[in-house]
């Protein structure tokens, strides 16, 4: 018994020593301390500018094929890695061993957010969104490490990708450099052990609905029959059929029968009545518009051409100007043939234009009280050849004199 105890203790000592040697031989990946926050911010900024976007989550979120939730234990997703291969390659340039300090990643994202280069959704806390971005980026790098170490896993992922996507990931994997003693069991360390909970890639739309099994066919589950069956079942059985009636009774019933107007005919009648009412309204409107147009034309014509005297008087001398005549003609060397027109409220002095064969206005007066006297006094001035400006000044002076006299 003592010998067996000694052998057991010796074996325990040897196994403990072997375990300590294996632990000491394991290599633990550590983030490069020389990688600065500015370097990481530059990588994220260039990635956003390349895609002409400010939403980093839209660029690195899982594709529609999934996964809908992920954690550090999630297996590598080929479509997701192919989508983010450009960003992962740029990060591997800074950190070839694929390890990034979470604190520096968060600081770089905060720097971009404060400089308004990075957009974060306003309905969530910025810090929570940045934590989500940081964890997602580092999980993607961990997936790359799994592909780098496991040849069989890499071949499975390659079957789900196209040739171009395979080449992109191969270039990124060539950039990834792992130490020779690194093993698969050492990839979950430090902060990764604390982040075992899954992250939802996107909120599940809609509410959960409890599944209800289909009802079996029963009397209470069947639909109600159409109304035609109810009409047939509700028929009066005692009412005689057409076979039981005589010919005279059938003829009397046929003569008294009045067919009902179908729904289509009723609709047609309503449409025709509506059309008639519309046409009547349109005709009335056109008539009223035509009447108003005629009246407007008539009024415009009356305003444009004032009523002229019935007979033009012959040429009068200056001595005859003082007489109360409505119109007369006279000659002057400057204007040629001229004409004085006097109406109830306005008076004009016009000259004959040979080019267009019309009477053109020289000067007139619209003063309701003195327009006749003013135009009579202006006739000698027109004969003297005064221009329009001088005639207006003379007219104003005459008007002041007439008002002073009154």
Q: pLDDT in tens for each of the 406 residues of the chain? A: 677 777 878 888 887 766 665 544 566 788 989 999 999 999 999 999 999 999 999 999 999 988 889 999 999 999 999 999 999 999 999 999 999 999 999 999 999 999 999 999 999 999 999 999 999 999 999 999 999 999 999 999 999 999 999 999 999 999 999 888 665 444 444 344 444 556 766 543 444 445 555 555 445 455 565 666 666 666 655 555 555 567 777 777 777 766 665 666 767 777 777 777 777 777 777 778 877 777 777 766 655 554 444 444 334 455 555 555 667 888 888 888 898 888 888 899 999 988 888 888 988 988 878 888 888 888 888 888 888 888 889 889 888 888 887 6
CB 44 within 8 A of CB 53: no
Flag whether the pTM goes above 0.85. no
User: Which token pair is 89?
Assistant: 């390659």
The pLDDT score that the predictor gives to residue 185 is 47
Paired with 361 in beta bridges are: 350
How far is Cα 55 from Cα 117, in angstroms, rounded to an integer? 9
111 burial level (CB within 10 Å; 0-12, 13-18, 19+): middle
Task: Give every CB contact of residue 193 below 8 A, 6+ residues apart in sequence.
Answer: none
Question: How much is the pLDDT for 314?
Answer: 39
First to last CA, the chain: 159
Q: What is the pLDDT of residue 269?
A: 73
Place of tokens 């632990």: 23
DSSP 84: T
Cα separation of 365 and 343, whole Å?
Answer: 10
What span, in angstroms and rounded, lies between the C-alpha atoms of 31 and 190? 12
Tell me the domain boundaries of the chain: 37-200, 318-405
pLDDT of residue 283: 76
Looking at residue 47, its pLDDT comes to 95
Helix (H) / strand (E) containing 192: helix 191-194
Question: Cβ neighbours of residue 378 under 8 Å, at least 6 residues apart?
Answer: 349, 363, 365, 391, 394, 395, 398
The first and second tokens of residue 314, run together, are 């012959």
In 95-162, DSSP assigns E strands to none
């Amino acid at each position: 018994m003592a010998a067996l105890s000694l052998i057991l203790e010796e074996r325990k000592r040897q196994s403990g020593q072997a375990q300590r040697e294996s632990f000491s031989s394991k290599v633990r990946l550590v983030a490069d301390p020389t990688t600065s926050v500015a370097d990481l911010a530059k990588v994220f900024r260039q990635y956003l500018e390349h895609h002409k976007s400010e939403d980093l989550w839209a660029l690195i979120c899982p594709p529609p094929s999934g996964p809908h939730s992920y954690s550090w234990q999630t297996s590598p997703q080929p479509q997701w890695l192919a989508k983010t291969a450009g960003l992962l390659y740029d990060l591997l340039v800074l950190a070839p061993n694929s390890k990034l300090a979470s604190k520096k990643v968060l600081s770089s994202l905060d720097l971009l957010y404060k400089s308004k280069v990075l957009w974060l959704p306003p309905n969530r806390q910025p810090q929570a969104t940045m934590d989500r971005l940081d964890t997602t980026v580092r999980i993607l790098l961990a997936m790359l490490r799994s592909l780098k170490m496991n040849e069989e896993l890499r071949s499975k992922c390659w079957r789900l990708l196209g040739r171009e996507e395979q080449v992109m990931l191969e270039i990124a994997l060539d950039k990834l450099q792992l130490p020779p003693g690194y093993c698969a069991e050492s990839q979950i360390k430090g902060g990764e052990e604390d982040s075992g909970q899954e992250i939802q890639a996107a909120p599940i739309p809609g509410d959960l609905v409890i599944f209800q099994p289909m009802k079996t066919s029963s009397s209470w589950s069947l639909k109600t029959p159409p109304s035609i069956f109810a009409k047939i079942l509700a028929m009066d059985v005692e009412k005689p059929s057409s076979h039981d009636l005589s010919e005279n009774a059938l003829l009397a019933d046929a003569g008294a029968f009045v067919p009902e107007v179908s729904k289509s005919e009723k609709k047609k009648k309503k449409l025709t009545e509506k059309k008639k009412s519309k046409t009547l309204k349109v005709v009335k409107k056109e008539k009223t518009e035509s009447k108003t147009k005629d009246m407007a034309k008539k009024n415009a014509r009356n305003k444009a051409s004032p009523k002229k005297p019935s007979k033009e008087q012959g040429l009068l001398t200056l001595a005859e100007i003082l007489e109360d005549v409505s119109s007369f003609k006279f000659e002057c060397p400057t204007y040629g043939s001229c004409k004085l027109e006097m109406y109830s409220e306005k008076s004009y002095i016009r000259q004959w234009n040979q080019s267009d064969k019309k009477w053109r206005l020289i000067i007139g007066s619209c003063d309701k009280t003195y327009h006749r006297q003013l135009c009579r006094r202006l006739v000698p001035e027109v004969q003297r050849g005064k221009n329009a400006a001088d005639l207006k000044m003379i007219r104003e002076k005459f008007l002041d004199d007439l008002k002073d006299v009154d």
